[in-house]
Amino acid sequence: MTLKIREFHAGDHIHTEQTAVRYLQVAMEEADKAETSRQGAAIIADALGEVARAQRHMSAIASDADRSRSGIYKALSNQGDPALSTVISAVHAAGGSLTVTMAR
């Protein structure tokens, strides 16, 4: 008997706007705890990618963000370190907006 294990994608479980927002909030919290800013950026990029894939097809997001599909996949992965312009474009293309609060 051969056991097949599928790769886990959080985006497969993000079905509501509230879940997407909470998932991104947790990613931001984890990014704040990362050892380096590059690791934090990768956590956020990966989370944005999961939410983007859950909300829309990546090709549509890439088109709306005026980026290549492969470029969006790479930028929004756990290996990614996207430019802020790419993050903003991808968030807007997925129907979101960015908000910042000050930590006390």
Write down the pLDDT at residue 2. Answer: 84
The answer to whether 81 touches 41, Cβ cutoff 8 Å, is yes
What's the mean pLDDT when you consider all of the chain? 83
Model confidence pLDDT, tens digit, residues 11-49: 778 888 899 889 888 998 898 899 998 888 888 888 888
Write down the pLDDT at residue 35. Answer: 93
Write down the pLDDT at residue 30. Answer: 92
Mean pLDDT calculated for residue range 43-72: 83
Write down the pLDDT at residue 26. Answer: 92
Mean pLDDT calculated for residue range 65-90: 81
**15/43 Cα distance (integer angstroms):** 20
Q: Is the pLDDT of residue 5 over 90?
A: no
